[in-house]
Chains A and B, each alone.
Chain A
Amino acid sequence: EVQLVQSGAEVKKPGESLKISCKGSGHSFTTNWIGWVRQMPGKGLEWMGIIFPADSDTRYSPSFQGQVTISADKSISTAYLQWSSLRASDSAMYYCASPFGEPAWGQGTLVTVSS
């Protein structure tokens, strides 16, 4: 079973870039698909996309294709979610999750984008 620990909260301005991380522990990180989930304030869970760290095979939900980049560094068991130019509408809680088998989730990273 993989355990996931995410990076801390971020406060950014519109137009800035950002990369948040999700570090896995346990021997199975590179052989588990790792996904990202958005939860906007007061709203439900939205699936953003997923990566297989062993070979960086990445799939995006159509709603998020082109809006974010998902990547991974298997040497340090870490997956990433990044934005090149943040907007206020990107303000949300972001969770990483290993959704298959017995699912595991990170604790969440709060991203606030405000001028």
Chain B
Amino acid sequence: QSALTQPRSVSGSPGQSVTISCTGTSSDVGGHNYVSWYQQHPGKAPKLMIFDVNRRPSGVPDRFSGSKSGNTASLTISGLQAEDEADYYCSSYAGNYDVVFGGGTKLTVL
């Protein structure tokens, strides 16, 4: 299963909005509404930020939102804060109880 495609890096200034894309195929992102997004700070375990394309777990700020169009999912972070600087990974159900991840995007808060 090929990895989902994410930009290697994105950046934004505090208060701005950034969007991270995650492109797959009709077998994964496009075929199922089971896209998740994870935030990972150095040395820490991934933290779930979005699941089922656009649902936020309890405790995740509403500055984080998810969407999907066709084979591409997106994570938007509005009102950027310094603590948002981290690596972000998307994942998608790919059928047959298989899961595929994106390669990860490094977010830099300028």
Contacts and interface: CB of A to CB of B under 8 A. Distances in A.
Contact of A33 (B51, B57, B97): B97
A44 B89 contact: yes
A95 interface: yes
B89 to A, nearest CB: 5
Interface size class of B (residues with CB under 8 A): 20 to 34
Interface string B74-101: 0000000000000001010100111111
Interface string A29-46: 000010101000000111
Given A95-B45, A108-B45, A103 B98 contact: no
B101 A50 contact: no
A59 B96 contact: yes
Interface of B: 1, 3, 34, 36, 38, 45-46, 48, 51, 55, 57, 89, 91, 93, 96-104
23 contacts: A37-B101, A44-B89, A45-B38, A45-B46, A47-B91, A47-B99, A47-B100, A50-B97, A50-B98, A50-B99, A52-B97, A59-B96, A59-B98, A61-B98, A95-B45, A99-B93, A100-B93, A102-B48, A102-B57, A103-B51, A106-B45, A107-B45, A108-B45
